[in-house]
Chain A
Amino acid sequence: MTPLLETRGLTANYGDFRALFGVDITVQPGETVAIIGANGAGKTTLLRAIAGVLRSAPAQVLHHGAPIGALPADQVMQRGISMVPEGRRLFPSLSVEENLLIGGQTRRAKGPWSLATVYDLFPILRERRHSPGTALSGGQQQMVAIGRALMANPELMLCDEISLGLAPVVIRDIYAALPQIKAGGASLVIVEQDIAQALRVADRVYCLMEGRVTLTGRPADITRDAIHAAYFGAPA
Protein backbone atom coordinates (compact mmCIF):
# COMPACT_ATOMS: atom_id res chain seq x y z
CA MET A 1 0.00 0.00 0.00
CA THR A 2 1.31 3.46 -0.88
CA PRO A 3 1.81 5.41 2.33
CA LEU A 4 -0.17 8.60 2.90
CA LEU A 5 3.08 10.45 3.38
CA GLU A 6 6.67 9.45 2.95
CA THR A 7 9.96 11.30 3.19
CA ARG A 8 12.92 9.77 1.38
CA GLY A 9 16.39 10.98 2.21
CA LEU A 10 14.91 14.35 3.19
CA THR A 11 17.52 17.04 3.67
CA ALA A 12 16.97 20.62 4.82
CA ASN A 13 19.27 23.58 5.24
CA TYR A 14 19.11 26.95 6.93
CA GLY A 15 21.64 28.81 4.82
CA ASP A 16 24.90 26.93 5.26
CA PHE A 17 23.66 25.02 8.24
CA ARG A 18 22.26 21.58 7.45
CA ALA A 19 19.44 20.64 9.80
CA LEU A 20 18.26 17.32 8.32
CA PHE A 21 20.52 14.60 6.91
CA GLY A 22 18.50 12.12 4.88
CA VAL A 23 15.41 11.57 7.04
CA ASP A 24 13.08 8.71 6.06
CA ILE A 25 9.67 8.54 7.69
CA THR A 26 6.36 7.08 6.55
CA VAL A 27 2.81 7.78 7.68
CA GLN A 28 0.11 5.26 6.80
CA PRO A 29 -3.55 6.34 6.48
CA GLY A 30 -5.17 6.62 9.89
CA GLU A 31 -1.89 6.52 11.79
CA THR A 32 -0.67 8.81 14.53
CA VAL A 33 3.07 9.21 14.27
CA ALA A 34 5.07 10.94 16.98
CA ILE A 35 8.41 12.62 16.36
CA ILE A 36 10.47 12.94 19.51
CA GLY A 37 13.94 14.23 20.13
CA ALA A 38 15.92 16.81 22.05
CA ASN A 39 15.92 20.54 21.30
CA GLY A 40 17.61 21.19 17.97
CA ALA A 41 17.20 17.61 16.77
CA GLY A 42 15.37 18.79 13.66
CA LYS A 43 11.77 17.96 14.61
CA THR A 44 10.28 21.34 13.70
CA THR A 45 12.47 21.50 10.59
CA LEU A 46 11.08 18.14 9.49
CA LEU A 47 7.48 19.42 9.79
CA ARG A 48 8.33 22.68 8.03
CA ALA A 49 9.92 20.74 5.17
CA ILE A 50 6.86 18.49 4.84
CA ALA A 51 4.52 21.52 4.94
CA GLY A 52 6.47 23.32 2.22
CA VAL A 53 7.68 26.23 4.36
CA LEU A 54 11.15 24.89 3.59
CA ARG A 55 11.47 23.56 0.04
CA SER A 56 13.35 20.39 -0.76
CA ALA A 57 13.92 18.25 -3.86
CA PRO A 58 10.57 17.06 -5.30
CA ALA A 59 11.01 13.36 -4.60
CA GLN A 60 12.17 13.85 -1.02
CA VAL A 61 8.55 14.23 0.13
CA LEU A 62 5.86 11.98 -1.35
CA HIS A 63 2.12 12.36 -0.83
CA HIS A 64 0.34 9.20 -1.98
CA GLY A 65 3.45 8.58 -4.03
CA ALA A 66 3.35 11.99 -5.76
CA PRO A 67 6.44 14.19 -5.33
CA ILE A 68 5.54 17.33 -3.37
CA GLY A 69 8.93 18.28 -1.89
CA ALA A 70 9.31 21.37 -4.07
CA LEU A 71 5.75 22.68 -3.71
CA PRO A 72 5.16 25.92 -1.80
CA ALA A 73 3.24 25.73 1.46
CA ASP A 74 -0.07 26.91 0.00
CA GLN A 75 -0.10 24.09 -2.56
CA VAL A 76 0.88 21.46 0.01
CA MET A 77 -2.05 22.67 2.12
CA GLN A 78 -4.39 22.41 -0.89
CA ARG A 79 -3.47 18.73 -1.08
CA GLY A 80 -4.88 18.17 2.39
CA ILE A 81 -1.87 18.55 4.66
CA SER A 82 -2.48 21.21 7.29
CA MET A 83 -0.28 22.39 10.09
CA VAL A 84 -0.60 23.54 13.69
CA PRO A 85 2.59 25.60 13.81
CA GLU A 86 4.94 25.92 16.75
CA GLY A 87 3.95 28.87 18.92
CA ARG A 88 0.38 28.69 17.54
CA ARG A 89 0.85 31.70 15.27
CA LEU A 90 -2.71 33.03 15.44
CA PHE A 91 -3.40 36.10 13.31
CA PRO A 92 -3.57 39.06 15.75
CA SER A 93 -5.82 41.13 13.43
CA LEU A 94 -8.41 38.36 13.24
CA SER A 95 -11.01 37.32 15.80
CA VAL A 96 -11.17 33.74 17.05
CA GLU A 97 -13.91 32.95 14.55
CA GLU A 98 -12.03 34.59 11.69
CA ASN A 99 -8.91 32.64 12.62
CA LEU A 100 -10.98 29.47 12.32
CA LEU A 101 -12.67 30.53 9.09
CA ILE A 102 -9.41 31.34 7.39
CA GLY A 103 -8.23 27.77 7.98
CA GLY A 104 -10.96 26.46 5.71
CA GLN A 105 -11.11 29.38 3.33
CA THR A 106 -9.13 28.00 0.41
CA ARG A 107 -9.84 24.30 0.75
CA ARG A 108 -13.21 22.96 1.80
CA ALA A 109 -12.87 19.20 1.50
CA LYS A 110 -15.74 16.95 2.53
CA GLY A 111 -15.37 15.94 6.14
CA PRO A 112 -16.69 16.31 9.63
CA TRP A 113 -15.11 19.66 10.51
CA SER A 114 -16.93 22.95 10.33
CA LEU A 115 -17.25 25.99 12.58
CA ALA A 116 -20.02 24.18 14.49
CA THR A 117 -18.10 20.93 15.05
CA VAL A 118 -14.91 22.75 16.02
CA TYR A 119 -16.95 24.70 18.60
CA ASP A 120 -18.37 21.39 19.83
CA LEU A 121 -14.84 20.05 20.19
CA PHE A 122 -13.65 23.15 22.09
CA PRO A 123 -16.81 24.78 23.57
CA ILE A 124 -14.87 27.64 25.18
CA LEU A 125 -14.04 28.95 21.71
CA ARG A 126 -17.73 29.48 20.95
CA GLU A 127 -17.99 31.83 23.95
CA ARG A 128 -14.88 33.71 22.91
CA ARG A 129 -15.49 33.71 19.18
CA HIS A 130 -15.54 37.51 18.79
CA SER A 131 -12.39 38.12 20.86
CA PRO A 132 -9.12 38.81 19.08
CA GLY A 133 -7.31 35.48 18.77
CA THR A 134 -4.34 36.74 20.70
CA ALA A 135 -6.44 37.87 23.70
CA LEU A 136 -6.98 34.24 24.71
CA SER A 137 -4.97 32.15 27.17
CA GLY A 138 -2.21 29.95 25.79
CA GLY A 139 -4.31 26.82 25.98
CA GLN A 140 -7.28 28.47 24.27
CA GLN A 141 -4.99 29.83 21.57
CA GLN A 142 -3.73 26.30 21.01
CA MET A 143 -7.33 25.17 20.61
CA VAL A 144 -7.85 27.87 17.98
CA ALA A 145 -4.69 26.78 16.16
CA ILE A 146 -5.86 23.16 16.13
CA GLY A 147 -9.38 24.15 15.08
CA ARG A 148 -7.98 26.36 12.34
CA ALA A 149 -6.02 23.42 10.92
CA LEU A 150 -9.10 21.17 11.16
CA MET A 151 -11.34 23.59 9.24
CA ALA A 152 -9.84 22.44 5.94
CA ASN A 153 -10.77 18.84 6.83
CA PRO A 154 -7.19 17.73 6.33
CA GLU A 155 -6.12 14.24 5.46
CA LEU A 156 -2.97 14.77 7.47
CA MET A 157 -2.44 17.22 10.31
CA LEU A 158 1.06 18.21 11.40
CA CYS A 159 1.13 19.30 15.05
CA ASP A 160 4.25 21.09 16.26
CA GLU A 161 4.73 21.09 20.03
CA ILE A 162 1.07 21.48 20.92
CA SER A 163 1.84 21.12 24.63
CA LEU A 164 4.71 23.60 24.75
CA GLY A 165 4.36 26.17 27.51
CA LEU A 166 0.97 24.95 28.69
CA ALA A 167 -0.11 23.82 32.16
CA PRO A 168 -0.51 20.03 32.61
CA VAL A 169 -4.27 20.29 33.05
CA VAL A 170 -4.55 22.23 29.80
CA ILE A 171 -2.33 19.73 27.99
CA ARG A 172 -4.66 16.98 29.18
CA ASP A 173 -7.67 18.81 27.72
CA ILE A 174 -5.95 19.28 24.38
CA TYR A 175 -4.76 15.70 24.14
CA ALA A 176 -8.26 14.55 25.07
CA ALA A 177 -9.42 16.00 21.75
CA LEU A 178 -7.02 13.88 19.68
CA PRO A 179 -9.18 10.72 19.57
CA GLN A 180 -12.05 12.74 18.09
CA ILE A 181 -9.72 14.27 15.55
CA LYS A 182 -8.49 10.80 14.58
CA ALA A 183 -12.06 9.54 14.41
CA GLY A 184 -12.76 12.37 11.99
CA GLY A 185 -10.40 10.74 9.55
CA ALA A 186 -7.23 12.78 9.91
CA SER A 187 -3.86 11.12 10.26
CA LEU A 188 -1.51 12.91 12.61
CA VAL A 189 2.17 13.68 12.85
CA ILE A 190 2.90 15.01 16.30
CA VAL A 191 6.13 16.64 17.34
CA GLU A 192 6.39 16.36 21.08
CA GLN A 193 9.03 16.96 23.74
CA ASP A 194 7.01 15.14 26.36
CA ILE A 195 8.01 11.55 25.59
CA ALA A 196 5.46 9.91 27.88
CA GLN A 197 2.66 11.90 26.24
CA ALA A 198 3.95 11.00 22.77
CA LEU A 199 4.18 7.28 23.56
CA ARG A 200 0.61 7.29 24.92
CA VAL A 201 -1.02 8.61 21.74
CA ALA A 202 1.25 7.39 18.95
CA ASP A 203 0.94 4.31 16.80
CA ARG A 204 4.59 4.69 15.84
CA VAL A 205 7.44 6.82 17.07
CA TYR A 206 10.50 8.25 15.38
CA CYS A 207 13.31 9.70 17.42
CA LEU A 208 15.52 12.33 15.82
CA MET A 209 18.98 13.31 16.90
CA GLU A 210 21.08 15.93 15.13
CA GLY A 211 19.01 15.70 11.97
CA ARG A 212 18.95 11.91 11.66
CA VAL A 213 16.44 9.23 12.63
CA THR A 214 18.02 7.26 15.46
CA LEU A 215 15.10 5.13 16.51
CA THR A 216 11.78 3.98 15.12
CA GLY A 217 9.18 1.57 16.39
CA ARG A 218 5.86 0.98 18.08
CA PRO A 219 5.58 2.43 21.59
CA ALA A 220 5.05 -1.05 23.09
CA ASP A 221 8.27 -2.32 21.54
CA ILE A 222 10.53 0.53 22.60
CA THR A 223 12.47 0.34 25.85
CA ARG A 224 13.50 3.24 28.02
CA ASP A 225 17.15 2.45 27.33
CA ALA A 226 16.59 2.49 23.59
CA ILE A 227 14.93 5.91 23.84
CA HIS A 228 17.69 7.21 26.05
CA ALA A 229 20.31 6.04 23.56
CA ALA A 230 18.40 7.49 20.61
CA TYR A 231 17.85 10.77 22.43
CA PHE A 232 21.32 11.41 23.72
CA GLY A 233 23.48 9.12 21.57
CA ALA A 234 24.77 7.07 24.49
CA PRO A 235 23.34 4.15 26.48
CA ALA A 236 21.95 4.97 29.93
Chain B
Amino acid sequence: MIGVDTIVQGVLLGGLYALFAAGLSLVFGIMRLVNLAHGDLIVMGAYLILILVTLSGLNPFLAALVAAPLMFGLGWGLQRLVLNRTLGKDILPPLLVTFGLSIALQNALLEGFSADSRKISAGGLETASADLGIVTVGVMPLLTFASAIAVIVGLNALFYRTALGRAFRAVSDDPVTASLMGIRPAHVFAMATGVAMLVVTVAALYFGMRANFDPAIGPARLIYAFEAVIIGGLGSLWGTLAGGIIIGVAQTVGAAVNPEWQILAGHVAFLLVLLVRPRGLFPRAVD
Protein backbone atom coordinates (compact mmCIF):
# COMPACT_ATOMS: atom_id res chain seq x y z
CA MET B 1 0.00 0.00 0.00
CA ILE B 2 1.46 3.31 -1.07
CA GLY B 3 0.43 5.89 1.47
CA VAL B 4 1.50 9.13 3.03
CA ASP B 5 3.98 7.16 5.05
CA THR B 6 5.81 5.91 1.95
CA ILE B 7 5.99 9.40 0.47
CA VAL B 8 7.28 10.92 3.71
CA GLN B 9 9.96 8.22 4.02
CA GLY B 10 10.97 8.94 0.42
CA VAL B 11 11.21 12.67 1.02
CA LEU B 12 13.38 12.09 4.07
CA LEU B 13 15.57 9.67 2.11
CA GLY B 14 15.92 12.44 -0.46
CA GLY B 15 17.64 14.50 2.23
CA LEU B 16 20.42 11.91 2.39
CA TYR B 17 20.82 11.96 -1.39
CA ALA B 18 20.88 15.75 -1.36
CA LEU B 19 23.70 15.60 1.19
CA PHE B 20 25.59 13.21 -1.10
CA ALA B 21 25.05 15.59 -3.98
CA ALA B 22 25.48 19.07 -2.50
CA GLY B 23 29.28 18.95 -2.48
CA LEU B 24 29.33 17.66 -6.05
CA SER B 25 26.95 20.41 -7.12
CA LEU B 26 29.03 23.10 -5.39
CA VAL B 27 32.28 22.08 -7.06
CA PHE B 28 30.68 21.66 -10.46
CA GLY B 29 28.94 25.02 -10.17
CA ILE B 30 32.13 26.91 -9.44
CA MET B 31 34.78 25.25 -11.57
CA ARG B 32 32.92 22.91 -13.97
CA LEU B 33 34.78 20.01 -12.41
CA VAL B 34 33.01 16.67 -12.18
CA ASN B 35 34.60 14.85 -9.27
CA LEU B 36 34.22 11.13 -9.93
CA ALA B 37 35.86 10.40 -6.56
CA HIS B 38 33.10 12.22 -4.66
CA GLY B 39 31.43 8.99 -3.52
CA ASP B 40 34.75 7.55 -2.38
CA LEU B 41 35.53 10.72 -0.46
CA ILE B 42 32.22 10.26 1.40
CA VAL B 43 33.20 6.67 2.24
CA MET B 44 36.64 7.89 3.35
CA GLY B 45 34.96 10.50 5.55
CA ALA B 46 32.83 7.76 7.11
CA TYR B 47 35.98 5.75 7.93
CA LEU B 48 37.61 8.84 9.41
CA ILE B 49 34.61 9.41 11.69
CA LEU B 50 34.58 5.69 12.54
CA ILE B 51 38.26 5.83 13.57
CA LEU B 52 37.65 8.88 15.74
CA VAL B 53 34.64 7.24 17.40
CA THR B 54 36.52 3.97 17.97
CA LEU B 55 39.74 5.53 19.25
CA SER B 56 38.36 8.28 21.44
CA GLY B 57 34.88 7.03 22.25
CA LEU B 58 33.49 10.34 21.02
CA ASN B 59 29.86 10.73 20.07
CA PRO B 60 29.67 10.47 16.22
CA PHE B 61 28.40 14.03 15.91
CA LEU B 62 31.38 15.35 17.88
CA ALA B 63 33.69 13.09 15.90
CA ALA B 64 32.34 14.65 12.68
CA LEU B 65 33.08 18.06 14.15
CA VAL B 66 36.69 16.96 14.69
CA ALA B 67 36.87 15.39 11.23
CA ALA B 68 35.50 18.50 9.47
CA PRO B 69 38.65 20.67 9.59
CA LEU B 70 40.77 17.68 8.55
CA MET B 71 38.49 17.07 5.59
CA PHE B 72 38.55 20.78 4.71
CA GLY B 73 42.36 20.73 4.70
CA LEU B 74 42.40 17.59 2.62
CA GLY B 75 40.06 19.12 0.04
CA TRP B 76 42.07 22.34 -0.04
CA GLY B 77 45.30 20.42 -0.61
CA LEU B 78 43.76 18.07 -3.16
CA GLN B 79 42.54 21.01 -5.21
CA ARG B 80 45.73 23.01 -4.82
CA LEU B 81 48.18 20.20 -5.57
CA VAL B 82 46.28 17.99 -7.98
CA LEU B 83 42.94 19.14 -9.37
CA ASN B 84 43.92 22.74 -10.24
CA ARG B 85 46.48 21.29 -12.64
CA THR B 86 43.77 19.42 -14.50
CA LEU B 87 41.48 22.40 -15.12
CA GLY B 88 41.48 23.98 -18.53
CA LYS B 89 39.60 24.06 -21.78
CA ASP B 90 39.66 20.27 -22.05
CA ILE B 91 37.11 18.55 -19.77
CA LEU B 92 38.78 15.14 -20.02
CA PRO B 93 41.81 15.55 -17.65
CA PRO B 94 39.73 16.21 -14.50
CA LEU B 95 37.53 13.21 -15.31
CA LEU B 96 40.53 10.92 -15.77
CA VAL B 97 42.34 12.19 -12.68
CA THR B 98 39.31 11.93 -10.38
CA PHE B 99 38.53 8.49 -11.82
CA GLY B 100 42.07 7.46 -10.92
CA LEU B 101 41.69 9.03 -7.50
CA SER B 102 38.51 7.03 -6.98
CA ILE B 103 40.31 3.74 -7.69
CA ALA B 104 43.30 4.71 -5.54
CA LEU B 105 41.05 5.70 -2.63
CA GLN B 106 39.04 2.47 -2.80
CA ASN B 107 42.19 0.38 -2.74
CA ALA B 108 43.80 2.41 0.02
CA LEU B 109 40.66 1.96 2.14
CA LEU B 110 40.63 -1.74 1.32
CA GLU B 111 44.25 -2.01 2.43
CA GLY B 112 43.61 -0.10 5.63
CA PHE B 113 40.20 -1.41 6.69
CA SER B 114 39.71 -4.73 4.82
CA ALA B 115 36.58 -5.48 2.83
CA ASP B 116 34.44 -6.08 5.92
CA SER B 117 31.46 -3.80 6.11
CA ARG B 118 31.38 -1.40 9.03
CA LYS B 119 28.94 0.97 10.64
CA ILE B 120 29.19 4.00 12.91
CA SER B 121 27.18 3.26 16.02
CA ALA B 122 24.82 6.04 17.00
CA GLY B 123 23.41 4.35 20.10
CA GLY B 124 19.71 4.76 20.81
CA LEU B 125 19.34 7.32 18.03
CA GLU B 126 19.24 4.58 15.41
CA THR B 127 15.94 3.20 16.61
CA ALA B 128 14.37 6.37 18.03
CA SER B 129 11.22 7.58 16.33
CA ALA B 130 9.17 10.74 16.34
CA ASP B 131 5.40 11.01 15.98
CA LEU B 132 4.56 13.72 13.46
CA GLY B 133 0.80 13.29 13.84
CA ILE B 134 -0.05 11.75 10.46
CA VAL B 135 3.01 9.55 10.32
CA THR B 136 5.70 8.29 12.62
CA VAL B 137 9.23 8.69 11.29
CA GLY B 138 12.69 7.71 12.45
CA VAL B 139 14.63 10.42 14.23
CA MET B 140 17.70 9.60 12.13
CA PRO B 141 16.04 10.22 8.72
CA LEU B 142 14.47 13.36 10.16
CA LEU B 143 17.87 14.62 11.35
CA THR B 144 19.39 13.77 7.98
CA PHE B 145 16.75 15.78 6.16
CA ALA B 146 17.07 18.72 8.56
CA SER B 147 20.84 18.63 8.06
CA ALA B 148 20.42 18.68 4.28
CA ILE B 149 18.22 21.78 4.58
CA ALA B 150 20.73 23.38 6.96
CA VAL B 151 23.62 22.60 4.62
CA ILE B 152 21.81 24.13 1.64
CA VAL B 153 20.72 27.22 3.59
CA GLY B 154 24.29 27.56 4.83
CA LEU B 155 25.82 27.19 1.38
CA ASN B 156 23.37 29.69 -0.10
CA ALA B 157 24.25 32.17 2.64
CA LEU B 158 27.93 31.60 1.91
CA PHE B 159 27.32 32.11 -1.80
CA TYR B 160 25.13 35.18 -1.66
CA ARG B 161 26.07 36.96 1.55
CA THR B 162 29.84 36.72 1.92
CA ALA B 163 32.89 38.05 0.14
CA LEU B 164 34.09 34.49 -0.44
CA GLY B 165 30.79 33.61 -2.09
CA ARG B 166 31.05 36.68 -4.29
CA ALA B 167 34.52 35.48 -5.33
CA PHE B 168 33.09 31.99 -6.01
CA ARG B 169 30.50 33.44 -8.37
CA ALA B 170 32.92 35.86 -10.04
CA VAL B 171 35.52 33.17 -10.71
CA SER B 172 32.79 30.89 -12.01
CA ASP B 173 31.69 33.64 -14.43
CA ASP B 174 35.09 34.77 -15.67
CA PRO B 175 38.38 33.71 -14.04
CA VAL B 176 40.56 36.14 -16.03
CA THR B 177 38.55 39.20 -15.05
CA ALA B 178 38.35 37.90 -11.48
CA SER B 179 42.15 37.83 -11.38
CA LEU B 180 42.11 41.49 -12.46
CA MET B 181 40.12 42.08 -9.24
CA GLY B 182 43.04 40.67 -7.24
CA ILE B 183 41.38 37.28 -6.82
CA ARG B 184 43.52 34.19 -7.36
CA PRO B 185 41.30 31.58 -9.03
CA ALA B 186 43.53 28.70 -7.83
CA HIS B 187 42.99 29.82 -4.24
CA VAL B 188 39.23 30.27 -4.68
CA PHE B 189 38.95 26.79 -6.21
CA ALA B 190 40.87 25.32 -3.26
CA MET B 191 38.48 27.04 -0.82
CA ALA B 192 35.52 25.68 -2.79
CA THR B 193 36.77 22.10 -2.62
CA GLY B 194 37.51 22.61 1.08
CA VAL B 195 33.91 23.71 1.65
CA ALA B 196 32.66 20.79 -0.46
CA MET B 197 34.60 18.46 1.84
CA LEU B 198 32.82 19.97 4.85
CA VAL B 199 29.56 18.95 3.18
CA VAL B 200 31.09 15.54 2.45
CA THR B 201 31.78 15.18 6.19
CA VAL B 202 28.11 15.78 7.02
CA ALA B 203 27.09 13.32 4.30
CA ALA B 204 29.61 10.78 5.62
CA LEU B 205 28.27 11.11 9.17
CA TYR B 206 24.70 10.17 8.25
CA PHE B 207 25.76 7.71 5.58
CA GLY B 208 27.95 5.88 8.11
CA MET B 209 25.34 5.88 10.88
CA ARG B 210 22.41 4.79 8.74
CA ALA B 211 23.80 1.79 6.91
CA ASN B 212 26.77 -0.52 6.55
CA PHE B 213 29.60 0.64 4.37
CA ASP B 214 32.70 -0.91 2.87
CA PRO B 215 35.58 0.47 0.78
CA ALA B 216 33.93 -0.32 -2.58
CA ILE B 217 30.55 1.29 -1.99
CA GLY B 218 31.52 4.83 -3.09
CA PRO B 219 30.64 4.67 -6.80
CA ALA B 220 27.10 3.49 -6.00
CA ARG B 221 26.62 6.56 -3.77
CA LEU B 222 28.04 8.70 -6.54
CA ILE B 223 25.31 7.55 -8.93
CA TYR B 224 22.56 8.87 -6.64
CA ALA B 225 24.44 12.11 -6.15
CA PHE B 226 24.85 12.55 -9.89
CA GLU B 227 21.20 11.86 -10.54
CA ALA B 228 20.12 14.33 -7.88
CA VAL B 229 22.39 17.06 -9.27
CA ILE B 230 21.28 16.49 -12.85
CA ILE B 231 17.57 16.32 -12.04
CA GLY B 232 17.90 19.54 -10.08
CA GLY B 233 19.70 21.39 -12.83
CA LEU B 234 23.48 21.73 -12.72
CA GLY B 235 24.67 24.21 -10.12
CA SER B 236 21.35 24.85 -8.32
CA LEU B 237 21.45 23.71 -4.67
CA TRP B 238 17.71 23.78 -4.00
CA GLY B 239 17.32 21.94 -7.30
CA THR B 240 19.72 19.35 -5.96
CA LEU B 241 17.48 18.85 -2.91
CA ALA B 242 14.47 18.50 -5.21
CA GLY B 243 16.42 15.96 -7.25
CA GLY B 244 17.31 14.00 -4.13
CA ILE B 245 13.68 13.98 -3.03
CA ILE B 246 12.46 12.78 -6.43
CA ILE B 247 14.90 9.86 -6.35
CA GLY B 248 14.10 9.13 -2.71
CA VAL B 249 10.34 9.10 -3.27
CA ALA B 250 10.68 7.01 -6.44
CA GLN B 251 12.74 4.47 -4.50
CA THR B 252 10.38 4.14 -1.54
CA VAL B 253 7.34 3.99 -3.82
CA GLY B 254 9.08 1.40 -5.98
CA ALA B 255 9.99 -0.61 -2.89
CA ALA B 256 6.41 -0.42 -1.62
CA VAL B 257 5.15 -1.93 -4.87
CA ASN B 258 7.83 -4.59 -4.99
CA PRO B 259 11.01 -4.60 -2.86
CA GLU B 260 13.09 -5.59 -5.88
CA TRP B 261 12.10 -2.39 -7.66
CA GLN B 262 13.56 0.06 -5.17
CA ILE B 263 16.83 0.94 -6.94
CA LEU B 264 15.39 0.59 -10.43
CA ALA B 265 12.50 2.96 -9.67
CA GLY B 266 14.97 5.70 -8.67
CA HIS B 267 16.91 5.36 -11.91
CA VAL B 268 13.71 5.26 -13.99
CA ALA B 269 12.51 8.48 -12.33
CA PHE B 270 15.85 10.04 -13.26
CA LEU B 271 15.45 9.02 -16.89
CA LEU B 272 11.87 10.30 -17.01
CA VAL B 273 12.89 13.71 -15.71
CA LEU B 274 15.68 13.87 -18.29
CA LEU B 275 13.21 13.01 -21.06
CA VAL B 276 10.89 15.84 -20.07
CA ARG B 277 13.47 18.40 -18.91
CA PRO B 278 16.88 17.57 -20.39
CA ARG B 279 18.53 20.51 -18.58
CA GLY B 280 17.01 19.59 -15.22
CA LEU B 281 14.23 21.21 -13.23
CA PHE B 282 16.03 24.44 -12.28
CA PRO B 283 18.73 25.04 -14.88
CA ARG B 284 20.96 28.10 -14.62
CA ALA B 285 20.35 30.75 -17.23
CA VAL B 286 23.90 30.64 -18.61
CA ASP B 287 25.76 27.40 -19.02
Residues of A within 8 A of B (CB): 51-53, 72-74, 77-78, 82-83, 85, 89, 91-94, 98, 101-103, 105-107, 148, 152
Segment among B31-39, B175-183, B205-213 that sits at the interface with chain A:
B175-183
> Given A92-B286, A105-B163, do A73 and B179 touch, yes or no (CB 8 Å)?
yes
| Inter-chain contact B173/A91, CB cutoff 8 Å | yes
Q: Does B172 contact A (CB under 8 A)?
A: yes
How far apart are A11's CB and chain B's nearest CB, in angstroms? 21
In the complex the two chains form, what is the Cα distance from A77 to B185 in whole Å?
Answer: 14
Residues of B within 8 A of A (CB): 163, 166-167, 169-170, 172-174, 176-184, 286
| Inter-chain contact B169/A91, CB cutoff 8 Å | yes
Number of cross-chain contacts by CB at 8 Å: 67
Which residues of chain A are near B180, meaning CB under 8 Å? 51, 53, 73-74, 77, 82-83, 85
| Inter-chain contact B173/A74, CB cutoff 8 Å | no
CB-nearest residue of chain A relative to B171? A91
| Inter-chain contact B170/A91, CB cutoff 8 Å | yes
Which residues of chain A are near B166, meaning CB under 8 Å? 94, 98, 101-102, 105
For the complex of A and B, the 8 pairs showing the least CB-CB separation, nearest first, are A106-B182, A77-B182, A73-B179, A93-B169, A89-B177, A91-B173, A74-B184, A91-B170
In the complex the two chains form, what is the Cα distance from A89 to B176 in whole Å?
Answer: 10
Q: A93-B170, A94-B170, A101-B163 are in contact. List 20 more A-B contacts (CB 8 A).
A: A51-B180, A52-B179, A72-B179, A72-B184, A74-B180, A74-B182, A77-B182, A85-B177, A85-B180, A89-B174, A89-B177, A91-B173, A91-B174, A91-B177, A92-B173, A92-B286, A101-B166, A102-B166, A105-B183, A106-B182
| Inter-chain contact A102/B174, CB cutoff 8 Å | no
Which residues of chain B are near A148, meaning CB under 8 Å? 181
Which residues of chain B are near A77, meaning CB under 8 Å? 179-182
Can you report 30 residue pairs joining A to B where beta carbons are below 8 Å apart? A51-B180, A52-B179, A72-B184, A73-B176, A73-B179, A73-B180, A74-B181, A74-B184, A77-B179, A78-B182, A82-B180, A83-B180, A89-B177, A91-B169, A91-B170, A91-B173, A91-B174, A92-B173, A92-B286, A93-B170, A93-B172, A94-B169, A101-B163, A102-B181, A102-B183, A105-B167, A106-B181, A106-B182, A107-B182, A152-B182
| Inter-chain contact B170/A74, CB cutoff 8 Å | no
In the complex the two chains form, what is the Cα distance from A74 to B184 in whole Å?
Answer: 6
> Given A89-B174, A93-B173, do A102 and B179 touch, yes or no (CB 8 Å)?
no
- For A78, A83, A98, the residue with the greatest tally of chain B CB atoms inside 10 Å of its CB is A98
Which residues of chain B are near A98, meaning CB under 8 Å? 166, 169
In the complex the two chains form, what is the Cα distance from A82 to B182 in whole Å?
Answer: 9
In the complex the two chains form, what is the Cα distance from A94 to B163 in whole Å?
Answer: 12
| Inter-chain contact B183/A74, CB cutoff 8 Å | yes
CB-nearest residue of chain B relative to A152? B182
Which residues of chain B are near A74, meaning CB under 8 Å? 179-184
CB-nearest residue of chain B relative to A72? B179
Which residues of chain B are near A83, meaning CB under 8 Å? 180
In the complex the two chains form, what is the Cα distance from A92 to B173 in whole Å?
Answer: 7
In the complex the two chains form, what is the Cα distance from A98 to B160 in whole Å?
Answer: 10
| Inter-chain contact B173/A105, CB cutoff 8 Å | no
How far apart are B25's CB and chain A's nearest CB, in angstroms? 15
Which residues of chain A are near B178, meaning CB under 8 Å? 91, 102
| Inter-chain contact B167/A102, CB cutoff 8 Å | yes
In the complex the two chains form, what is the Cα distance from A74 to B167 in whole Å?
Answer: 13
CB-nearest residue of chain B relative to A73? B179
| Inter-chain contact A105/B181, CB cutoff 8 Å | yes
In the complex the two chains form, what is the Cα distance from A92 to B285 in whole Å?
Answer: 10
How far apart are B150's CB and chain A's nearest CB, in angstroms? 24
| Inter-chain contact B170/A102, CB cutoff 8 Å | yes
